[in-house]
Structure 1
């Protein structure tokens, strides 16, 4: 028994250990449709399975919590586990310690489990709330779509089973992530759903994409199999500042969400008093949909920047998105809230309801992301920095293509004027010295004075082989290219000005880590010394790791070991010893 307080203890690891130890027993208890669905996505049973290992493991845990644990809240599962009750009992068919068998890990202290349980129970919601933490680039959007497809198939076959979602509401924190969620609508279902069942989904699913302010939600009351994809501001309840006109009531719902997460501490628009909330047409329509499952992308927004303060103090304000979900739960039947995030830590503290996590360190080391080579620069000046950055980038990636895509470098400027009047002229001069045409530059700053429609089209086509966007290799950005930007051909980022938000350094850096080709590749990150230190600090807060953990380790440092648990030696005490002698006559 451990005697200390283990800061690295996490319940999701214990759940995963329990599941993997009993995987065969547990999966044999699932219904036929679930077993077929899992087998179709399991690379050990289907060599053509589409999901990668972290995605499939998260799907396994999703179904385990759904069907085996019957949608219990995390604090309830944790309480059963620590007291060895129900499924976790030593007398259970699934017990891990029968006949005195040893465990791989020491149990945490009773004091620690009691503290964790009180924390979980204190901040529980009225509905089950789960967090699936997969780092950027592992395919959270595809995983989310797969989980929704699974829900709808089971709901179609078992319409009276309250465990399954009949409708899905997908939240995105901002417009960039919202656009990336279009993949749920366009994704080829047969990659994760057996073809005979994919046809059932195609004939029943109704998509509603709310991307414009004032968009009316056209769902039929009490209908099933609706997938509503929305920016949070299109549904969210807000503080009512004045009496609204009927038109304003109908089309209300704009505003910001959790800007404090990105460093704007003075903005309190994401915290509301329950007595000052109002709803809108879209919210009312959602309240008329039965058995609603809520799916939140980039879920760390849901908890806010003051998670540590919330956990340690009482009476802290919740986010307006959380209030919206809670109001939905009061007005309709919410099956559960499923949160997907790439950062399971906030200020080095694990989010309280994580049931599966696959971190940045594991993703890089296991080849699901590019390796990273961060370079820090002292005494940064525009021309010197850009010259060094472009020369290094071109030496490493110039003239190469990957899956028909040319490698790109994203240069982040702190403001529109700086990007247009300082960074771009210097970049043109550096490219000219290297014999690279200025047409390789793309300026995307969100200002129509400098960024035209053609530029936006090229930005959206950076990963399209043969397009004009693919020819753009030096991308100058202002407040772009953060969460939700999916550009696999991005091989470098340059950030030398200190942004207002420290988390932006982490978000910008991770954009270039998405994997491309089956080859192990390395992306280069160019930072000022100040931003280099900021990245190290943000990695520690959000992933519980250091900057050296994302660097490219040499192949000499990588070894595979096979570990087997051997039983302890056994001794037998002999009470009686019998000696038998035989004589043989020897002939001479």
Structure 2
């Protein structure tokens, strides 16, 4: 690898921006060269012999995805023309983070997640003129429409699914007549492990992704509970079994009709209207493929896969015939269909792939670990020449290994020396990693075997110290799984397997996992540092699926100096993945990741648990007249160069650029009378009025409207600046105001709330009125930390910061009334506020609980920023509102400390 990339390895792109560069392999120098620009959608495959990974590598482009990609980019730059108002709110919410602000708290979405959901939305809602030449009906392999999103393992497919569900359901719920959408959504999975993981897509589930990843704006959250989301695994689509019944009853029953099948399988869905389907790990859902050219070993391995694929796809066929499938959205890291050896590559991709962020892209963006392999070894001595590979590259096909590992023998039969050597090297690497890590979850090593005989031999050799490192040979920390997780009948074993690497769970201390053929999809251990493959790998599909089990990152902290994620590594032997960027062990290894601290809730400290209100917004009671303090009303600037992101649906937006003066006549002609200023004022007035109706009951509707209409008119006259030449001012003013209804309404509504001297009250989440420290999502950090195990905090650690140095000592020892305190980090405690017309979330630094059900929100502030006063005013209003009902919410105060806090700062006042 070239010198310029040593420190960051292959991580050259931000996970939050479109990739700006990529690597290409130079066959002559055997190095990767950094190239400007994003890699085209496509995949690498070996042509010819694949068993030893020795065939020529070729890049195949995905024509459909490459055709769609620039159109989606252009559509986004224009402000998402033609989308519904609900879709626009969602897109604005997902794109709300400031481009360069890595201190932004809360959940920030990866760029690949935004591209994936934006492509899905574009296919449904973009203007038809933008989609000329794209016909998914012709690409799909059946009667129902399919659209495939290709996302590498570890890039957050489940988050994309939650976005997709929110988009579909909220549009249908708010506009029931729109046949493009459905609030009935079937999520299909390849097994119980994946299905259980997908429970986070059910809004009523604790820890659901809509809450954890803040998928839905506060104003729309209550609607998601009207959606009906059902998760099934493929077994649920199997035909009704009659074999156990007497022959006469079987004949009387006849074949189950499509309608009866659908009613049985989808009994939880009301009515018979069309549904949306999401296929997770969708490469399992395909038409049966011919077995021409496949070996017996390949046929045996694929027999179960073809049974699953057939039942899955035929079940959806029946559902489509009975009630209709609007669209089936496929998500997969490897949307390939095996085709046997007569195929050029051994597989075929889905033809309906619409977006692609593959494993190369994920590595270069730092979203997954970088695999490191041995590219040379000492077995060749001085005779090694270009093209020779290490024997650890594909161990299974090295001399004598395949034959030995296919013996049906007792566990104590010796393993081949090459296998033993490979394990010793990897386990030594594992021990070095373990010694570098702090206490907590240990690193884990996984071994993928060809059959149960081999797995038992590996287990026996480890436990009897035949393979070197004794530290890994602990019975309670070794797990052998001879079947998929879905087939494990021992519930304790399954739970241990599914929770490897998860602090506080049964599998937390597992150091080595031995599996057969491939560990289950949906298995998401992030602490895997070594992978050993002891089986045949005959396709890119198989290599990527197996290696994917070890690629999930542990930490997602961004390096503030580079804006990039620091590389993490996994060492891989025996998996011939020549298509991936790999870093050789023989070269100067880039700086590895720093030891990480696992921050979690300590169950034994439950007496320090803090419940805090989950408030969507604050409402003010309004008397007959609406008061507004114009000093509190923010001024905003609208510009044709930067305002398309706020655009509502309007014909004008399909023009390239509002700032192009030569386009003005056509823009004005297209709008005509549809967007005159008075209509915009009317729309803004209606928006504000509807949000105030619940607290404004002692006045007739006409008077309400007249008051708001005047405020909006005055605001437009005095508080809006149009950044345009005088010659175009009036036209731009009307257009830009019409494209910023929500921004203007939010600004005015915030000013009204802050200006009222009447009673205010909180509007809590309708399902979860409170959140708690007890369900904080655990996380890793490389930053310096204080242990809070002896403090009055539910958390295990407090990240060090000079601003709050010593706060724990004061709270624990100097103030008797303090019962508990917590740093608001990964808790999801937020105060809604409006800045520059956008609803944002403010995260106060600390919550302190005192005796008497009293609570202090504490902000420790250094340099004050423009929006801080707005945040603080909103926090004070939040406290005032909750304090109107102290029995329900407790008593709350808010305080800002500009220096290191003292005892007096932290006392209840």
Q: TM-score, normalised by structure 2?
A: 0.44
2:116 pairs, out of 58, 63, 70, with 58
Q: Residues 501 and 22 of structure 1: is their aligned pair in 2 closer, same or farther, counting only changes over 3 Å?
A: closer
Q: Residues 62 and 365 of structure 1: is their aligned pair in 2 closer, same or farther, counting only changes over 3 Å?
A: same
* Conservation of the 8 A alpha-carbon contact between 1:298 and 1:339: yes
- Mark the runs of 5 or more structure 2 residues left unpaired by the alignment: 1-58, 293-305, 338-345, 375-391, 402-415, 557-565, 591-909
> CA shift at 1:13, angstroms?
1.6
Residue 555 (structure 2) aligns with: 517
Residue 187 (structure 1) aligns with: 208
1:420 pairs, out of 442, 450, 456, with 456
1:321 pairs, out of 298, 312, 320, with 312
The structure number with the bigger radius of gyration is 2
Q: Residues 25 and 499 of structure 1: is their aligned pair in 2 closer, same or farther, counting only changes over 3 Å?
A: closer
* Conservation of the 8 A alpha-carbon contact between 1:408 and 1:474: yes
Q: Which has the higher strand share?
A: 2
Residue 442 (structure 2) aligns with: 406
The DSSP-based 3-state class of the residue aligned with 1:469 is: coil
Structure 1 residues 421-500: aligned runs within 5 Å = 421-430=457-466, 433-435=469-471, 438=474, 439-446=476-483, 453-467=491-505, 469-478=507-516, 481-498=519-536
Residue 130 (structure 2) aligns with: 87
> CA shift at 1:228, angstroms?
1.1
Residue 335 (structure 1) aligns with: 326
Residue 157 (structure 1) aligns with: 174
Matched positions, count: 446
> CA shift at 1:526, angstroms?
1.8
> CA shift at 1:405, angstroms?
3.3
Residue 30 (structure 1) aligns with: 83
* Conservation of the 8 A alpha-carbon contact between 1:461 and 1:469: yes
The DSSP-based 3-state class of the residue aligned with 1:133 is: strand
- Between 513-522 and 26-35, report the one with greater CA deviation: 26-35
Please give the alpha-carbon distance, in whole angstroms, between the structure 2 residues aligned to 1:246 and 1:398.
Answer: 65
> CA shift at 1:552, angstroms?
6.7
Residue 226 (structure 1) aligns with: 228
Residue 184 (structure 2) aligns with: 167
Measured against aligned partners, the alpha-carbon deviations of 1:379-411 in whole angstroms (never above 9, x if no partner) come to: 55153332233123323x122448953211012
Q: Residues 383 and 241 of structure 1: is their aligned pair in 2 closer, same or farther, counting only changes over 3 Å?
A: same
Measured against aligned partners, the alpha-carbon deviations of 1:426-477 in whole angstroms (never above 9, x if no partner) come to: 35405775455614322333599x9965443332332322445222211222
1:16 pairs, out of 41, 44, 69, with 69
Residue 526 (structure 1) aligns with: 573
Please give the alpha-carbon distance, in whole angstroms, between the structure 2 residues aligned to 1:284 and 1:229.
Answer: 10
- Between 496-505 and 21-30, report the one with greater CA deviation: 496-505
Q: Residues 452 and 302 of structure 1: is their aligned pair in 2 closer, same or farther, counting only changes over 3 Å?
A: closer
Structure 1 residues 64-83: aligned runs within 5 Å = 64-68=122-126
Q: Residues 130 and 188 of structure 1: is their aligned pair in 2 closer, same or farther, counting only changes over 3 Å?
A: closer
Residue 803 (structure 2) aligns with: none
Q: TM-score, normalised by structure 1?
A: 0.65
> CA shift at 1:548, angstroms?
4.5
Q: Residues 483 and 550 of structure 1: is their aligned pair in 2 closer, same or farther, counting only changes over 3 Å?
A: farther
Structure 1 residues 531-546: aligned runs within 5 Å = 532=575, 535-536=576-577, 546=578
2:428 pairs, out of 375, 391, 402, with 391
Please give the alpha-carbon distance, in whole angstroms, between the structure 1 residues aligned to 2:97 and 2:231.
Answer: 33
> CA shift at 1:361, angstroms?
0.8
- Mark the runs of 5 or more structure 1 residues left unpaired by the alignment: 1-5, 71-85, 90-112, 205-224, 253-272, 310-315, 537-545, 558-588
Residue 23 (structure 2) aligns with: none
Residue 273 (structure 2) aligns with: 290
Please give the alpha-carbon distance, in whole angstroms, between the structure 2 residues aligned to 1:246 and 1:355.
Answer: 50
Please give the alpha-carbon distance, in whole angstroms, between the structure 2 residues aligned to 1:124 and 1:447.
Answer: 29
Please give the alpha-carbon distance, in whole angstroms, between the structure 2 residues aligned to 1:464 and 1:454.
Answer: 15
* Conservation of the 8 A alpha-carbon contact between 2:472 and 2:511: no
Pair 1:201-2:183 in alignment? no
Pair 1:121-2:121 in alignment? no
Please give the alpha-carbon distance, in whole angstroms, between the structure 1 residues aligned to 2:281 and 2:248.
Answer: 33
Q: Residues 447 and 344 of structure 1: is their aligned pair in 2 closer, same or farther, counting only changes over 3 Å?
A: closer
Residue 285 (structure 2) aligns with: 302
Residue 361 (structure 1) aligns with: 360
Q: Residues 462 and 321 of structure 1: is their aligned pair in 2 closer, same or farther, counting only changes over 3 Å?
A: closer
Q: Residues 402 and 343 of structure 1: is their aligned pair in 2 closer, same or farther, counting only changes over 3 Å?
A: farther
